[in-house]
């Protein structure tokens, strides 16, 4: 590993910096100074201004105040690898001494470059969290500790009967991506949904560093809620490199997205569609419609709403509704988020009939990224369900760009059951 890559990998482990986008880490890596100290040597002295913000790379240090009067000298606390101290401006002075306990190496971010530490979206250097776009807000995480992040389900985000699986996939992948040097991007992931989550509670993502190699890195992410593991994801990351190239998969002939109805217009059509029961149309009319941050355009009319049996396949175009920051990790997280939309339900198509109520839940989900993706440009999602059995449906999918290049292959298995909930008893209105 070269020196710059080693610095970037170290900086990605510092909790203060895990909230920053990869472009900021790269800039910080270019301007930090390497300083080395012997055991017993002062790094900063009380009353001095110091050189900037210090990040401990190797060794340990202790913090203590100068002795005044009859007070006894004592150590305030110790600093270890990934700890940091100092001030971002030269106008502040240090109120304690920091001394090396052994041979110590620090990376120092000089005062004139400390504006790079300003907290913004984890995806963009140009947007604050308050002004970043919807998908970036959904996938934004708060670093809690080294390799521990917190995510939430935004209050104004669309909701279904349970926590959306794509939210867990996207946020967990974002957490894993923040612990890998930005030169590596995810190429494959496998996720398992263990128990249902709670909309109103934050998600804690614990990242486990399984391997860091020259070309590949592997991470496991566990999502914790109320002390219980509700989801786990295993992801592999790779540096871009030249290699063999072929593609046998062919994108089917589908209408271009500009010729198809947006989901908002499809939703409006439900209000007056005579093929739908009046009770359903009334529910659509009176319910609050919260659009997804992903734009969807079906290539052929969906019959699932009508309770009509159809082949186990579906094709639609998707893209993020807003322009995204230019970060490949973000685009892959957005695609991971969107990949769980209307995926498993395709396995129910051959079994639909009027009046049939079903329960479905994702069990596991796998993705392979073959090429770079732009999640804010149109992607054709081709879905097919080859089998359903033993209360489990299985679906496979392919995502193509508008040129017909295969971007992503994916599979999912999920629980599909008839809803056997008892009907509520009929009570007299008299």
**Active-site residues: which are they?**
340, 362, 412
DSSP 8-state symbol, 347: G
Tokens for 139?
A: 């996938």
Tokens for 9?
A: 């990998």
Report strand pairing: 203-212 vs 379-389. unpaired
Q: Which long-range contacts link 218-224 to residues 24+ away (Cβ below 8 Å)? A: 219/176, 219/179, 219/180, 221/172, 221/173, 221/175, 221/176, 223/168, 223/171, 223/172, 223/197
Residues, the chain:
430
- CB-CB contact of 38 with 103 (8 Å): yes
For the chain, percent helix, then strand, then coil, each to nearest 5?
20, 35, 45
Nearest one of 143, 216, 148 to 183, comparing CA atoms: 216
Q: State the Cα–Cα distance between residues 112 and 32, nearest whole angstrom.
A: 11
């Amino acid at each position: 590993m070269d020196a710059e890559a080693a610095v970037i990998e170290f900086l990605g482990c510092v909790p203060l910096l895990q909230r920053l986008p990869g472009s900021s880490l790269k800039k910080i890596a270019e301007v930090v100074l390497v300083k080395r100290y012997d055991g017993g040597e002062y790094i900063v002295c009380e009353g001095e201004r110091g050189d900037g913000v210090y990040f401990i790379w190797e060794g340990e240090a202790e913090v203590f105040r100068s002795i005044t009067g009859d007070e006894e000298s004592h150590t305030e606390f110790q600093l270890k690898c990934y700890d940091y101290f100092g001030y971002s401006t030269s106008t502040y002075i240090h109120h304690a001494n920091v001394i090396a306990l052994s041979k110590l190496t620090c990376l120092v971010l000089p005062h004139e470059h400390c504006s790079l530490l300003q907290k913004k979206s984890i995806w963009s250097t140009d947007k604050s969290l308050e002004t970043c776009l919807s998908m970036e807000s959904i996938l934004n995480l708060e670093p809690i500790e080294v390799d521990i992040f917190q995510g939430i389900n935004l209050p104004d985000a669309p909701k279904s009967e349970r926590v959306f699986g794509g939210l867990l996939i996207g946020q967990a992948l974002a957490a894993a991506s923040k612990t890998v040097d930005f030169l590596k991007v995810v190429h494959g992931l496998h996720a398992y949904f263990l128990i249902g989550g709670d909309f109103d509670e934050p998600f804690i993502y614990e990242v486990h560093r399984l391997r860091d190699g020259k070309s590949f890195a592997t991470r496991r992410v566990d999502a914790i809620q109320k002390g219980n593991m509700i989801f786990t994801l295993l992801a592999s990351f790779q540096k871009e490199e030249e290699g063999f190239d072929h593609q046998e998969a062919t994108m089917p002939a589908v209408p271009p997205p500009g010729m198809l109805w947006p989901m908002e217009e499809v939703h409006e059509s439900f209000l007056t569609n005579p093929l739908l029961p009046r009770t359903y149309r009334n529910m659509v009319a009176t319910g609050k419609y919260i659009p997804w941050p992903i734009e969807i355009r079906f290539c052929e009319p969906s019959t699932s709403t009508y309770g009509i049996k159809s082949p186990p396949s579906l094709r639609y175009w998707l893209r993020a509704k807003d322009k995204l920051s230019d970060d490949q990790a973000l685009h892959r997280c957005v695609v991971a988020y969107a990949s769980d939309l209307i995926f498993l339900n395709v396995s129910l198509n051959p079994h639909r009939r009027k009046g049939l109520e079903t329960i479905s839940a994702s069990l596991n989900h796998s993705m392979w990224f073959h090429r770079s993706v732009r999640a804010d440009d149109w992607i054709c999602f081709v879905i097919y369900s080859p089998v359903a059995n033993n209360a489990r449906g299985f679906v496979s999918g392919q995502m193509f760009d508008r040129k017909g290049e295969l971007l992503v292959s994916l599979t999912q298995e999920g629980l599909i059951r008839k809803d056997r909930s008892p009907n509520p008893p009929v009570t007299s209105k008299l």
